[in-house]
Structure 1
Amino acid sequence: MTELLTAAQMRAIEQAAIESGNVTGLELMERAGLGVVEAIFEEWPELAESEEGGAAPRPADSPRSISKRVKRAVVLCGPGNNGGDGFVVARLLCELGWELEVFLYGDPEKLPPDAKTNYDRWIHLGGVSDWSLLDPVTCVADLIVDAMFGAGLSRAPSDRIMAPVTELFTSGCALGNIVAVDAPTGLCMDSGRALSDYWGAVYASLTVTFHRPRRGHHLDDGPHYCGKVVCKQIDLNDRPSQDRGVNLVSVGSEQLSKGIGDHKFDHGHAVVLSGGTGRSGAARLAARGALRIGAGLVTLGVPPSAMMEVAGHITALMMARVEGGEGLGVILEDPRLNALCLGPGLGQARARDVVPVALAAKRATVLDADALSAFADDPEMLFSQVHKACVLTPHGGEFARLFPDIADKLNEVPINGPAYSKVDATRAAAKRAGCVVLFKGADTVIADPDGHCSVSSAQYERSAPWLATAGSGDVLAGFITGLLARGFKPMQAAETAAWLHVECALEFGPGLIAEDLPEQLPAVFRKLGV
């Protein structure tokens, strides 16, 4: 898994490298600037070509590239080291024959030492315009580079900064080619939230970051503002985090495989409770997901009123009569039933009856949908019963009903950074509930009570907007339940299921409905080498 860093963690990694004597700040700045230029040419190959049609040389290979039509860039530099990166980019493009216009916000004499050195190096090649001269009418360019504040922004940029910048970036002067260095201006990179409710943040076409992605590249509105994120390596080594890290979920084949000679009971027996007549579809989706993901057996626990309905729709799935809490208790006398899913289509009245019985059995349990909403008037009643083998899977509305104060804090408009993030909120919720919480969304965040946390991102190249369809969450609950039945730990089951859920959507593509999701697992497994 890739660790998603905070701005403070990245600063600590850079500082440790400098203090070790292995690299200087100037060398890191040079590597970053070169990485930005390389990423620009990789994203827009036409900008790397000379008029004769050949590829422009790398900045290190030639002082100038001769071309009949000179390309033009506008570079916006801020008062810190991100601005220093911008001066490096300007110099490297200039050495390739580009025409540059560079603007600086702030006093050049107050720049940090490394940024000031690169400012001085740039001054020998071209001028620096005062911020007050930034005019969208005259700043027509092939490329605009946002090197104003980067990932360390701690407060909303002033109107003096954002007014002309917003006008420039919305005027079309850059022909759509807008690159941000580390982070689009205005975006908190610990949370992915804009630090101004009025201005928002800069909309970049490409964001180039270094060493590891930041949390804000994958959380909240971060992907919306970042466009596309490219992470360039600048030869840094990781250092241990002072707190528990946050990882970007990825999945391998090792634990998903089944062994030759395994018996069905080697992979568990899951029970999914259904609602009454006309409400069994969601549970059947979850059960199908649990079976497809590899649970050895899956039984639908069905009230008498819906047994004929369910029987007409299932084949590999099994069915047991479960009228209420007492009926659930009877079937749970079988110790082989090792994972439960409660919530999809269950009905809130039925949920309040069966959830306490399920939790008292201390089996691995997924609580979703109605099993969460049934306790919205008294969340503590639910939290007093859950145990560490549980997984709660709320969407935004359910999260707000169970954790109203945490949701309120998350929904506050941030003014200062680092802003309260979905990572912070999910960790707080998991600690309060005493079990794993999977907070759904394109930026699904998963946390356990001990502070372990990960992000399952359905964004950028993994964007799967067709998951926004009725029943897809029920299938996710079933995926988690099936993995719990197979013996996965709750955190691992939630992470793996969330990742596979997106992969199934990508495998099918547009037109997806929830019934399609479990049927994509065989193809996804084959690609993984399971």
Structure 2
Amino acid sequence: MTELLTAAQMRAIEQAAIAAGEVTGLELMERAGQGVVAAIFEEWPELDADIGCQAGEAAPRPQASPGDISGQKMGGEAFRRAVVLCGPGNNGGDGFVVARLLKERGWDIEVFLYGAPDKLPPDAKVNYERWLELGRVKDITHYGRKDGWLCDVLVDALFGTGLTRSLTDLGDLFWNMEDMVDCFEIEFGHKRGRPAIVAVDIPSGICSDSGKEFPHEADYFRFSATAHLTVSFHRHKQGHFLAEGPDHCGKTVVKEIGLKEGKNWCKENRKSLCSLATRLHPSWARKDRDGHKYSHGHALVLSGGHGRTGAARLAARGALRIGAGLVTVGAPRAAMMEHACQLTAIMLRQMDGADELRRLLQDSRFNAVCLGPGLGLAADREGLVLEVLQANRATVLDADALTQFEDRAEALFEVLHENCVITPHGGEFSRLFPDLAEKLNAPATTGPAYSKVDATREAAKRAGCVVLFKGPDTVIAAPNGLCSVNSAHYDRSAPWLATAGSGDVLAGFITGLMARGFDPMQAAETAAYLHVECALNFGPGLIAEDLPEQIPAVLRKLDIF
């Protein structure tokens, strides 16, 4: 797990380091600028070619018109040009450092400032003045040319993590920043300029806590920058992985700037941090070599009636593949034949109504239960949910088991317990937590905007159990505030998971892991991570039936035996 930070948490870490005398603000700014420049050349090494200047020397001025200079050869040597857009805060200060460092490498640099120089924070003002020794700073209202951007690299150092408002006064300006908004495919040397767009911290217009776009007009029209590369510092921010953030960030990298989180800070803030699932510890999913099938748990998956049985089989298959020792499907009499024709390693028990379920659960070896996939919404289905919850077994509630209570969520919350996981998608979340969904879906007029992390944490506290809020930015939270994000973005993008039955398999994965003894939070995190890995392993053309069958290959790849 990798920790994700909010803007406030990042500021607190910086301020603590400065107060302790470990580093100065100017040193942090210098390191940030160095990190951005390093990231540019790591991503596009062709830009790091010798352009005929020694460090510290001014680049030769082109004789041609600006429209002809991008990538041209001057005296047989390459010529590179960057435009740096600096904002009114410390993000702008980082931009001045980037401009200076590129200038010292022989690049031609044009710098624009949004805001008044005399209102810059002290450290940013120092770097503004350092830049003035090398070149000019123009007012940003003069930026944007109808004939193109005329550069190889466009650096967005306007707002970063500090933005907490809509860009109302930048509306007209953004119309002139076509590349920054549309993020055209990079084409170095293009006669009009198709630059590599690099965002410092996060693209301007995106809330770094929530990943939401700040609207810039009264009608909530959204108009935010987009980057090919986003360079963050010390840690990723939540907004890099939530909501619209990933669509605007392009590739994200993190550069170290010499910060350390002190033990006192960590102890005080650990439960307020959100983690990003980046890998699994091998011991999490490894089976006991001396165990037997019952020592690895017995999962029960409840099925709907005739014609509604497929979802339960998908969940059951997921539970078995993820390592539960035994899996049984409990089905009404009318559905027994459908199941019997298709189940082999998975066992089958007739179960009509709450009374038969109660008798079935007298067998204490059933230690995890999954309800919801294809369960149906008939009146007697609610009794099944309540019966399982009263039995106090490890329980996963999905789909129909949640929809049963859409008008009476409080009745469900009263019987949920700490050994439960609920797995709503956006619609189900809105029905169970309408007030939280309203806050989450409201336009982000001020920041930090209410995030999916905030909503899931509040939902878990209210429900009294782990909540897995599904989506490409799946968020998992426990009642004690622990929270993680399982991101299917960037190199883990898995759009093929948007297929019927995918969520049923995920519910089965969680159930199987809980049957094996995983606690609810660990089971939900592990299942969500493996769910994406299975999709990536299969690739395009995936259907839900394929997901459980990828588990053996994925576990081998992760060195889990």
Match of 1:492 in 2: 522
Match of 2:3 in 1: 3
Which of these residues, 142, 148, 151, is aligned with residue 161 of structure 2? Answer: 151
> After superposition, where does 1:47-62 map in structure 2 within 5 Å?
47-50=47-50
Runs of 5+ in structure 2 lacking a partner? 61-73, 185-191
CA distance, structure 2, for counterparts of residue 476 and residue 380 of structure 1: 25
Q: 1:528 offset after TM fit, Å?
A: 1.4
Q: 1:174 offset after TM fit, Å?
A: 4.7
CA distance, structure 1, for counterparts of residue 328 and residue 49 of structure 2: 62
Q: 1:164 offset after TM fit, Å?
A: 4.6
Residue pair 1:423, 1:445 contacting (<8 A) in 2 also: yes
> After superposition, where does 1:299-378 map in structure 2 within 5 Å?
299-349=328-378, 350-378=380-408
Q: 1:385 offset after TM fit, Å?
A: 1.2
CA distance, structure 1, for counterparts of residue 440 and residue 25 of structure 2: 35
CA distances 1:248-281 after superposition (whole Å, capped 9, x unpaired):
1231111211122211111110000011111111
- Opposite residue 181 of structure 1, the aligned amino acid is V
Q: 1:166 offset after TM fit, Å?
A: 3.9
CA distances 1:327-375 after superposition (whole Å, capped 9, x unpaired):
1111100011000000001101153131011111000000000000111
- Opposite residue 148 of structure 1, the aligned amino acid is L
Secondary structure of 1:339's counterpart equals strand
Match of 1:246 in 2: 274
Which of these residues, 463, 479, 487, is aligned with residue 509 of structure 2? Answer: 479
Match of 1:140 in 2: 150
CA distances 1:278-334 after superposition (whole Å, capped 9, x unpaired):
111100000000000000100000110111110110111001111111111111000
Number of residue pairs matched? Answer: 524
Match of 1:180 in 2: 199
CA distances 1:471-502 after superposition (whole Å, capped 9, x unpaired):
00000000000000000000110011000000
Say if 2:103 is the partner of 1:84: no
Secondary structure of 2:272's counterpart equals coil
CA distance, structure 1, for counterparts of residue 229 and residue 119 of structure 2: 29
Match of 1:273 in 2: 302
Secondary structure of 1:493's counterpart equals helix
Secondary structure of 1:194's counterpart equals coil
Match of 1:232 in 2: 255
CA distances 1:42-77 after superposition (whole Å, capped 9, x unpaired):
11222122369xxx99xxx77578972311111000
Say if 2:29 is the partner of 1:29: yes
Secondary structure of 1:300's counterpart equals strand
Q: 1:244 offset after TM fit, Å?
A: 1.9
Say if 2:116 is the partner of 1:97: no
Which of these residues, 411, 426, 430, is aligned with residue 400 of structure 1? Answer: 430
CA distance, structure 1, for counterparts of residue 542 and residue 59 of structure 2: 49
Cα gap change, 1:174 to 1:368, in 2 (>3 Å) = farther
CA distance, structure 1, for counterparts of residue 233 and residue 181 of structure 2: 27
Residue pair 2:179, 2:194 contacting (<8 A) in 1 also: no
CA distance, structure 2, for counterparts of residue 423 and residue 129 of structure 1: 39
Q: 1:386 offset after TM fit, Å?
A: 1.0
CA distance, structure 2, for counterparts of residue 165 and residue 391 of structure 1: 48
Say if 2:533 is the partner of 1:503: yes
Cα gap change, 1:327 to 1:117, in 2 (>3 Å) = same
CA distance, structure 2, for counterparts of residue 410 and residue 456 of structure 1: 18
CA distance, structure 1, for counterparts of residue 234 and residue 193 of structure 2: 27
CA distances 1:383-435 after superposition (whole Å, capped 9, x unpaired):
11111111000000011111111111111101100000001111111111111
Stretch deviating more after TM superposition (172-181 or 144-153):
172-181
CA distance, structure 2, for counterparts of residue 94 and residue 34 of structure 1: 13
Match of 1:160 in 2: 170
Say if 2:415 is the partner of 1:385: yes
> After superposition, where does 1:182-261 map in structure 2 within 5 Å?
182-196=201-215, 197-238=220-261, 239-240=265-266, 241-242=268-269, 244-249=272-277, 250-261=279-290
Say if 2:300 is the partner of 1:291: no
- Opposite residue 276 of structure 2, the aligned amino acid is L
Secondary structure of 1:282's counterpart equals helix
Say if 2:442 is the partner of 1:423: no
CA distances 1:70-121 after superposition (whole Å, capped 9, x unpaired):
1111100011110000000001111111111100011111111111111111
Moved over 6 A (4+): 64-67
CA distances 1:218-274 after superposition (whole Å, capped 9, x unpaired):
111110111111111111102325352111123111121112221111111000001
CA distance, structure 2, for counterparts of residue 121 and residue 155 of structure 1: 29
Residue pair 2:181, 2:223 contacting (<8 A) in 1 also: no
CA distance, structure 2, for counterparts of residue 136 and residue 407 of structure 1: 42
CA distance, structure 1, for counterparts of residue 222 and residue 290 of structure 2: 61
Secondary structure of 1:187's counterpart equals coil
- Opposite residue 3 of structure 2, the aligned amino acid is E
Q: TM-score, normalised by structure 2?
A: 0.91
CA distance, structure 2, for counterparts of residue 101 and residue 118 of structure 1: 15
CA distance, structure 2, for counterparts of residue 421 and residue 145 of structure 1: 27
Stretch deviating more after TM superposition (161-170 or 361-370):
161-170
Runs of 5+ in structure 1 lacking a partner? none
State the identity as a percent: 62
CA distance, structure 1, for counterparts of residue 195 and residue 222 of structure 2: 19
Q: 1:170 offset after TM fit, Å?
A: 4.5
Q: 1:176 offset after TM fit, Å?
A: 4.6
Q: 1:215 offset after TM fit, Å?
A: 0.5
Stretch deviating more after TM superposition (134-143 or 278-287):
134-143
Residue pair 1:342, 1:351 contacting (<8 A) in 2 also: no
Stretch deviating more after TM superposition (87-96 or 154-163):
154-163
Cα gap change, 1:100 to 1:405, in 2 (>3 Å) = same
CA distance, structure 2, for counterparts of residue 470 and residue 199 of structure 1: 31
CA distance, structure 2, for counterparts of residue 64 and residue 497 of structure 1: 56
Match of 2:64 in 1: none
Residue pair 2:233, 2:256 contacting (<8 A) in 1 also: yes
Match of 1:522 in 2: 552
- Opposite residue 141 of structure 1, the aligned amino acid is C
CA distance, structure 1, for counterparts of residue 168 and residue 48 of structure 2: 35
CA distance, structure 2, for counterparts of residue 200 and residue 458 of structure 1: 24
Q: 1:25 offset after TM fit, Å?
A: 0.9
- Opposite residue 371 of structure 1, the aligned amino acid is A
CA distance, structure 1, for counterparts of residue 154 and residue 498 of structure 2: 34
